[in-house]
Amino acid sequence: MRTLTAVVAGAAATSALLLGPASATAETLREGAYVATIQVFSSGETYRVELLRQADADQAVRLMNGEVTHPGIPIGDIVRGSSGVNTGYDWHIDPATFHWADITAEACDGQPHEVSNADEWKVQQYCPWTIKVVSVTPES
């Protein structure tokens, strides 16, 4: 069972949800998914990903809170067209393929706006190397 233990808010910090223990479940959960907002350091741009697995949501919260640094590279397959939760873009990450990695190919590193240019972005995945998780919220 997934648990929501507290809401944290700060004047200078983004509101965030603290999720229950990682051991709660790691199975794929469509109902009750979370959305992580991720900032790419080099540009300051943000994008959003849907997190279906509790383990991915838990890791996002740990990264956001500075409790861990690895695995810390978000990676998943790019879906063109509907932006899903990734509003403001013409693409989103397939939530079924999303996970956190320690190492990825440099070819999938870049800025969110670069992924929008399908003629220039030649790989199927997106995996920005230097990121900060700025929020994790229940999907509405």
Bridge partners (DSSP) of residue 6 are 18
**CA atoms 126, 127, 130, 131: torsion sign:** positive
- pTM, full prediction: 0.78
Residue-wise pLDDT for 75-103, tens only, equals 999 999 887 899 999 999 999 999 999 99
The radius of gyration of the chain from alpha carbons, rounded to an integer in Å, stands at 14
| In 1-139, beta strands by DSSP E | 4-8, 16-19, 34-40, 46-51, 73-80, 91-93, 99-101, 125-126, 131-138
Cα 94 to Cα 84, 113, 127, 129: the distances in Å are 9, 17, 13, 18
d(CA 39, CA 30): 24
Residue span of the structural domain in which 73 resides: 4-138
What is the count of structural domains for the chain? Answer: 1
Residue-wise pLDDT for 26-61, tens only, equals 344 445 699 999 999 989 999 999 999 999 999 999
d(CA 53, CA 22): 10
